[in-house]
Amino acid sequence: MLQGSELTIDGCLSLMDYYSSAHFACHASQNAADPLESRFIFHEGYLNLLAVIRQILQDVDLAFLSACQTSTGEEKLSDEAVHLAAGMLAAGYRRVVPTMWSIGDRHAPGVSFDFYHYLWKDKKDRFEGAKSAQALHHAIQSLRLRLNDDSEKSLLAWIPYVHFGY
């Protein structure tokens, strides 16, 4: 796990090549003018979509993108998916949990916790990525129960999370 200034672009790409799963808890930004320049923003730089797509990863399973706008598409390319989540799929990840727009720092850690708690609940040494869609459903239902209302603010807290892959 890399955090803060430990997280470099080369270090991140190296770990993506080594581990079957990746969790990004950082800022991200969609570049509408040049979608391949959409990026994860780190303490010491950024990792753009083009660098992710250039990765040829073997046996990678799950990428959880707990960052804003990681599956926001380009309006001019509405029938194409050019965003960070699509880049993770193109790099080889079988399953990706991104967000469609900005997410709040208040709820993102709880969604991640509930997601992984569900995946790890029956395993001691590893989790089953094939259950990631169910895990996301569980995490979102848990968040909805905590919010306990149907206000627009509450809806915007859980609606952005989506699941791509199988």
Output the pLDDT for position 1. 72
Residue-wise pLDDT for 27-69, tens only, equals 999 888 888 999 999 988 999 999 999 988 999 999 999 999 8
- Domains of the chain, each with CATH number or no CATH: 4-165 (3.40.50.1460)
> Does pTM surpass 0.75?
yes
CB 43 within 8 A of CB 5: yes
Report the Cα–Cα distance between both ends of the chain, in Å, rounded: 25
Low-confidence ranges of the chain (pLDDT < 70): 73-80
125-130-134-140 Cα dihedral, nearest 10 degrees = 70
